[in-house]
Structure 1
Amino acid sequence: MVALKPRRTEAMLTRDGIRLVADIWEPEGDGPFPVLLMRQAYGRKIGTSLCYAPPEWYARHDYIVVMQDVRGRGDSGGEFILFEHEAEDGADTIAWAASLPRSNGRVGMFGFSFQGSNQLLAAGEKPEALKAIAPAMIGWQLDRDWAYENGAFAMRANIGWATQLAAETARLKGDYEAQQILFAASRGTSFNGRQPTVPAHDALLAKYSHYTCWRDTPPGDAYWDKISPASRLSDIAELAPGVLLIGGWYDSHLPGTLEAYRALSPHTPTRLIVGPWAHFPWDRHIGDVDVGDDAITDIDQQQIRFFDQWLKSEPEQQVAPVRLFDMGACQWQDLQDLPEGNTQAFPYGSGRAAIDTRDGALAHAVPDDVLALSESLTLDPWRPAAPCGGSFGFPGGPIDRARTDARSDVLTFTTPLQETDRLLAGTVTGCFEFESEYESFDIHATLSRVDSHGKVHPLAEGYALAKPGQTLLPMRGTCLTLKKGERLRLSLSLACFPVFPINPGTGGSPIAATLDQQRVTTVHLKCGSGTYLLLPWLKQES
């Protein structure tokens, strides 16, 4: 076991004179050692505790480990403005870390969520010493894969995260009454006000967080490029660090993680690992299912091997670029790339798919005698459909949604029994053709596995603003060996409340809609070639 020096605390100054504070762990010995850096928004004392081994574990693998409070958090100075200083401050920190005594001048970064996205922002400054990054569960283009989902405002997640950040900001500013109000709100936020996107503690969110800015800034605004790693792709590619991306099939940020892989892999050595996890913890128990020992996180060991290659010049790992956890076989699948949907599946029924879960079918072709049929779907804002497991539910993961599917405001389409084991691995896309007298509506699509006992476990979801005509709905990815005797099911509804606000159907923004503006909305899903799923079937096993 490598002996460590006592932990020490040091500070540095950014280019504009802000003092940033960090704790440092390092091994005994002469070195030199590479540096592993995490820049924390939740206080450096929390360190790596949510998903990773403690800093001491990494230091004992012959690394100098630096845990830093970002600007305006913990003991660091300045004002915390979400993502707006992370590029420059990150680059300054990397240069400082590379110059630490006994450093070999090479720096790697790791961390998940905020701590993952800020690595990419820093890499966009092209800091010479940054040789490797391991961003986990990240946003890539934040107006598409963090604040919004296919144009729909992620209300519950945005309010929840902003409340957490605001409570800490209030505490740091000595406003303990506001901290208490925000803490209480975090334990029971109500979405039952006249305008659900304006919670009772909205004034405190405006004072101490980014929430009103994100709510009031539409997708596509130049603001999002300012804070999104995607806008720095060319600079990251020019720096060309080693990249290890880590995601979870039920993580809220999976679309950003996958899109980062698609964008980065042609330009810089990039590897992708996706486990069966939600945002955290990364374990074998997810939702109602135990997916086995192989799912218990080995990300720490994977990261050490990755950083050893890029920061210590050890031999290159002989590993596949893409490693996906198969939630049916309960084992990892190694692939050369991230598959995309390649097989069409068409939903159809006899007109009762919202009433009888046996009525709707999902098949490779639509029978000629039902091509003219459509399925009716209604939203009653008095009792909107809610999430159930999956990526949007709480708790998330494979929670049995059979009762949700039995609701009369949920259309279901189910395949015949699978005749052989078959691997479904990659991203799913839905294309849906609607008729409606209403100008706008939302669509929530869920692909699930129906097991041999009739339990319905979500696999991949998507949500989007829609209107009459055809709506292309990018859904999340999955990896599952569908076993003989199991089935797939597509479920569609017009709401997922309170994850997203209810669409009033008027063409106006659901963000600004008030309770009195909500109306009963009915749409008709047209069966035929304009409505289908693209499913990533990879191989068939005997």
Structure 2
Amino acid sequence: MLNVFSKETASMLTRDGVRLDADIYRPDAEGEFPVLLMRQPYGKAIASTVVYAHPTWYAAQGYIVVIQDVRGRGTSEGEFKLFSHEIEDGFDTVNWAANLPGSNGNVGMYGFSYQGMTQLYAAAAHPPALKAVCPAMIGYDLYTDWAYENGAFCLQANLGWAIQLATETARLSGDEKAYQALFTASRNLPLYDKIPARPEILQNLAPDSFYHEWLDHPQPGEYWEISPKQHLQDVDLPMLHVGGWFDTFLRGTLNLYKEMASRSAFSQHLVIGPWAHLPWGRKVGNVDYGAEANSSIDKLQIRWFDQFLKGIDTGLLNEPSVNLFEMGSNRWRSFETFPSDNHKSYFLQSSGLASLRDDAGKLVRQAKEFIQNSSDVVVHDPWRPVPALGGHATIPAGSFDRSSLDCRTDILTYTSAPLESDLYLAGDVVVEVYAKADTPCFDLFAVLSEVRTDGSVYNFTQGYVRVESNQEAPLKIILQATCARLNKGNCLRLSLSAACFPAYPVNPGTGSHPGETALIAAQIITLTVRSGKDFPSQILLPLV
């Protein structure tokens, strides 16, 4: 490792004359070096050190590291408007970084979340100096991968982030009263205003927040064309894609990887650990996944950039391109491509009491034509909606013991017999159920868990869907992709309910969207789930 000079701060001007500031970390050595660029909105001193090594570590590997405040954030000038300037500003910044003193003209970008998005937006402008990127935990399509999940607004994640950004805006403007109010709200989200999804504090103190626009556009359409997906059709770069099994943006990471892998002339590598959005460590929720789960992304990124920015043969191109952490065995597994077309069915079977007894609802492998028809009825009461517990869409994320939650009578549970051998899963997970409600609109929440021999129940993947056409037909719920080993003797369980609050808003049953739904408008919803020969409700599990 090289010695590193003290941090310096430098500025550049965008094409429209706005000053952007960056911290620069340089190796204390002779010669020219590639540049690693991160563009972020949280204050350049943080430099995403919640998940990555400090920029001095990257500089010590022989790189000039540039951490820039995007327009209107940190000490950079201009007005911050979510993602609106990142294509042009990204292009200008890459060109500026490539021409810094000591640069060899090759630029790579790294970062997660917003910092992952700025990589994609910069790449969309085709700056010639940008040679490789490492986008982690991104929303490839802002509507389907970030703001909404299967038509349901991601309330807790979106509201929490909006208040965080609004609080920082108040700090930058010196508005202490607004800062204090928003900071307090960030620690106890305002979820019970007249319109729960549209709290007054955000309307009053952050009227220009992106959050209001996201609420006002509950369907895909022209508004969402700002998404990276709309701008990357002719972009091709080596990309190292990083995700987490409990990250709320895993859909975006996988969608980008799958598209790039299908058409790219360059190497596309995918790494998914047992992580939430942050941090990337061995313990997520209440489960310790062991030392192998500790992040090795920093070292992997250096290998990536050594390969594509320095021309060093690191051996990466001879290794499998997909590396997935297998929860349960707590080891990494390698694949040539992301597993697909490997689904096997587990069918739902019930005595009609799956909301009351954990032995009433079953998961069976036998053919659906031999399963007797049955109906399970569950009542969703908005006064006491099923609470979120772990998974990918709430805070804290991860795996928790939900055995006491599954005892609620507004949750249907279907459990397999004890496994006769270890069950290995890797890939996409889908639940198809015949469900109907007594209201024009309802939500359906599905959780897959492992029931251990001691009675504890640990979730490993889940999914949520807003149903706006109340016709009894197989409803498809796309769950988070997963990679897991369920141990011999344990059981597989599917839990179904009509809410997961506050990860998603409580569905009022009226068909109105969250931005229009008053707290008083929520209705009691009676939900019926059918299974059997004529109603083959099932889980499509990716067996390997």
Give the C-alpha shift of residue 394 in structure 1.
Answer: 2.7
Conserved in 2, the CA contact under 8 Å of 1:9 and 1:24? yes
Give the C-alpha shift of residue 211 in structure 1.
Answer: 1.2
In structure 2, what is the equivalent of residue 441 of structure 1?
442
Is 2:253 the counterpart of 1:257?
A: yes
Give the C-alpha shift of residue 368 in structure 1.
Answer: 5.1
Conserved in 2, the CA contact under 8 Å of 1:294 and 1:331? yes
Is 2:169 the counterpart of 1:169?
A: yes
The separation in 2 between residues aligned to 1:477 and 1:312, in whole angstroms, is 34
In structure 2, what is the equivalent of residue 477 of structure 1?
481
Residue 509 of structure 2 aligns to which amino acid in structure 1?
A: G
The separation in 2 between residues aligned to 1:8 and 1:421, in whole angstroms, is 54
Give the C-alpha shift of residue 530 in structure 1.
Answer: 4.1
Give the C-alpha shift of residue 10 in structure 1.
Answer: 0.6
In structure 2, what is the equivalent of residue 63 of structure 1?
63
The separation in 2 between residues aligned to 1:12 and 1:31, in whole angstroms, is 23
In structure 2, what is the equivalent of residue 222 of structure 1?
222
Output one character per residue of 1:146-188: Cα deviation in whole Å (capped at 9) or x when no partner.
Answer: 1111111111111110000001111112222111110011011
In structure 2, what is the equivalent of residue 4 of structure 1?
4
Is 2:504 the counterpart of 1:500?
A: yes
Is 2:230 the counterpart of 1:234?
A: no
The separation in 2 between residues aligned to 1:43 and 1:179, in whole angstroms, is 16
Give the C-alpha shift of residue 123 in structure 1.
Answer: 0.7
Is 2:240 the counterpart of 1:244?
A: yes
Give the C-alpha shift of residue 481 in structure 1.
Answer: 1.3
Give the C-alpha shift of residue 509 in structure 1.
Answer: 2.1
In structure 2, what is the equivalent of residue 416 of structure 1?
417
List structure 1 segments (4+ residues) > 4 angstroms apart after TM superposition: 366-370
The separation in 1 between residues aligned to 2:394 and 2:511, in whole angstroms, is 27
- Written as runs of structure 1 = structure 2, the 5 A alignment for 1:134-213 is 134-204=134-204, 206-213=206-213
Aligned CA distance change for structure 1 residues 525 and 366 (closer, same or farther; 3 Å): farther
The separation in 2 between residues aligned to 1:219 and 1:130, in whole angstroms, is 34
> Which one of the candidate residues 274, 278, 297 is aligned to 1:276?
274
In structure 1, what is the equivalent of residue 542 of structure 2?
536
Conserved in 2, the CA contact under 8 Å of 1:355 and 1:406? yes
- Unaligned runs of 5+ residues in structure 1 are none
Is 2:407 the counterpart of 1:406?
A: yes
The separation in 1 between residues aligned to 2:214 and 2:368, in whole angstroms, is 46
The separation in 2 between residues aligned to 1:322 and 1:398, in whole angstroms, is 23
Is 2:462 the counterpart of 1:464?
A: no
Residue 541 of structure 2 aligns to which amino acid in structure 1?
A: L
- Written as runs of structure 1 = structure 2, the 5 A alignment for 1:289-328 is 289-315=287-313, 316-317=315-316, 318-328=318-328
The separation in 1 between residues aligned to 2:48 and 2:392, in whole angstroms, is 23
Q: Secondary structure at the match of 1:116?
A: helix
Conserved in 1, the CA contact under 8 Å of 2:40 and 2:118? no
Q: Secondary structure at the match of 1:489?
A: strand
Q: Secondary structure at the match of 2:507?
A: coil
Residue 456 of structure 1 aligns to which amino acid in structure 2?
A: V
Aligned CA distance change for structure 1 residues 435 and 209 (closer, same or farther; 3 Å): closer
Q: Secondary structure at the match of 1:491?
A: strand
Conserved in 1, the CA contact under 8 Å of 2:368 and 2:536? no
Give the C-alpha shift of residue 205 in structure 1.
Answer: 5.2
> Which one of the candidate residues 502, 510, 522 is aligned to 2:526?
522
Q: Secondary structure at the match of 1:402?
A: coil
Q: Secondary structure at the match of 2:448?
A: strand
In structure 1, what is the equivalent of residue 381 of structure 2?
380
Output one character per residue of 1:55-103: Cα deviation in whole Å (capped at 9) or x when no partner.
Answer: 0100010000000000000110100000111111111100111111121
The separation in 1 between residues aligned to 2:238 and 2:134, in whole angstroms, is 8
Bigger shift: residues 135-144 or 370-379: 370-379
The separation in 1 between residues aligned to 2:198 and 2:496, in whole angstroms, is 27
Conserved in 2, the CA contact under 8 Å of 1:357 and 1:413? yes
When the two structures are aligned, how many residues end up with a matched partner? 534
Bigger shift: residues 37-46 or 432-441: 432-441
The separation in 2 between residues aligned to 1:30 and 1:36, in whole angstroms, is 18
Bigger shift: residues 296-305 or 192-201: 192-201
